[in-house]
Each structure stands twice: as structure tokens, then as C-alpha cells.
Amino acid sequence: MTTSSIGLKPVRQIAAHELVLDQMRRSMETGQFSPGDRLPSERELAEILSVSRTVVRAAIAILEREGRILVRRGRGGGFIVQAPTYNSTETRRMMRQNREGVRDAFDYRVIVEGAASRLAAERRRTADLAELRELLTSMEAALLASFEEQTPMKVVEFQRLDSAFHLGVARAARNPSLYDAVEDARRKMWLPVGSVFGRLEKNANDRHGDVLAAIESQNGDLAEATMEAHINDTRSTLEAWLQR
């Protein structure tokens, strides 16, 4: 008879190149490197990440196959970040088959981002407000620009700023675990989803101003409620898009 031992699951050792891949993905997704930027050179990356070049190359090879970066040889070459190309039909199909997962992901976002917004209202400093305000104006600009010319590039730029704004709020909450949770929640679901809309809605930026205002006024309840409303707006938009 084997012991039932629920709770002990097989461990999966994570290869060094997978860890590297993860970090590079994250750095691109959080907008540290935008489309067109060059990543640090192979040798620099190996140095920064303290792994061998071999490992860096393994990660790079995967990103290249995915089309996420372009590899150019020779002087002035390097790894150039490409705009992500999502297959919206595919994503939509996947999400339709996983309604429960989508719901859970949004519920989780509402919880952690709502709480982050509340704490941010209580703890924000002047520098936080300045940073968020700047992101807000950049988003306005990006949104307007995107209506004159709807390129994927513009959409990506807006989403990069959107991510930066939400993470900025989380940072202003000054709780490391909570920040990680927010980052995690966004990575898990929002990035693939968000990038699939393809074009921006006119109201995409409406709620951000309200959130910032609530944080500025140090009204925790309001800040939480506004953020929750914002995320639930997005949820509705997504659900409508899934119905279509």
C-alpha cells in the first residue's frame, strides 16, 4: 500500500536558461525594454545575470524563435526587441475555454490592486504622485496619437504605460509582498489578454485619472473603490469581446 501523501507533488527543476528567459520576458513586458530597443549584449547579459553565455544564448534562441526579438550579427548588431504579435483568434479561443480561470484572475486582480490602491492613498509621497501624473499625461498623449494612426506599435506603447501606472500605484503602497502579488497578477493574465484587444477604446484612460485623484486626496476607501471599478470595467470590456 502506498502512502496517500497528498500535498507532495513532483518537483520540477528549473533550468538556468528558463530563469533567464523569465527575467528577459518580464523586463520587456514591464516596459524596461520597448520595441526597437537593443538588449545588452550577449556577454553583458551573461555578466549581469551571472550565468554563462551558453545559458543566455539558450534563452535568446527561444525568444528569437518566438519572434519576440530580432538577432543581428556584427558590429552594431545585437538583440532588438520586436513588438509582440499576438494571435487574437487563438487567444480568444483559449480564453473561452477557460472562463473560470479568467474570472479568478480578475477577482485576484481586484483584490490585490484594490488593496494596493488603498494603501497607496494612505502612504503616497509627493514623488509618487509626480511619477503617476507624468504617466497619466503620457497615456493621454499615446491614446490621442493612436486615434490618428492605429498602429500595433501605438497600442503596445499605451499598454506599456498602463502597466507602468498600475505598478507605480503598487509601488506607492510600499509593501513588497503586495507589489509582487500585483506584478504576478498582471503577468498571469492581463498582459496576454490586454495585448489582444488590438485597438484602444476611447475610454481606455478614463478611470486612471480618478484613481490618481483618489490617491492624491488620501481617501483610501475611494481609491480602493475606484481601482476596483476600473478593473471591473476592463472585465466587462473583455467579456463583451469574448461574446462577439
Interface residues toward DNA, by CB under 7 A: 13, 15-17, 39, 41-43, 50-55, 57-58, 60, 71-79
State which of residues 69, 81, 102, 115 lies at the interface with a second copy (CB under 8 A): 115
Look-up of cell digits 480602493: 224
Smallest distance, a second copy to C-beta of residue 201, A: 26
DSSP per-residue letters across 95-140: HHTTHHHHHHHHHHHHHHHHHHHHHHHHH--HHHHHHHHHHHHHHH
Cell 507602468 maps to which residue?
A: 164
6 binds, among a second copy, DNA, none (CB under 5 to 8 A by kind): a second copy
Q: How far apart are CA 240 and CA 6, in angstroms?
A: 40
Decide: is 242 part of the binding site for a second copy (CB under 8 A): no
Residue 80's binding partner among DNA, a second copy, none (Cβ under 5 to 8 angstroms by kind) is: none
Least distance to DNA from the beta carbon of 9, Å? 14
Q: Which of 82, 175, 219, 237 binds a second copy (CB under 8 A)?
A: 175
The region, left, alpha or beta by phi > 0 then psi within -120 to 50, assigned to residue 56 is: alpha
58 is a contact residue toward a second copy (CB under 8 A): no
Answer yes or no whether residue 161 interacts with a second copy by CB under 8 A: no
- The smaller minimum CB distance to DNA, of residues 53 and 188, is found at 53
Please choose which of a second copy, DNA, none residue 197 contacts, taking the beta carbon within 5 to 8 angstroms, the exact cut-off set by kind. none
Q: Which of residues 36-55 bind a second copy (CB under 8 A)?
A: 40, 44-45, 48-51
Radius of gyration of the chain (CA): 20
Query: What are the E-state strand segments in the chain?
Result: 69-72, 78-81
d(CA 11, CA 54): 25
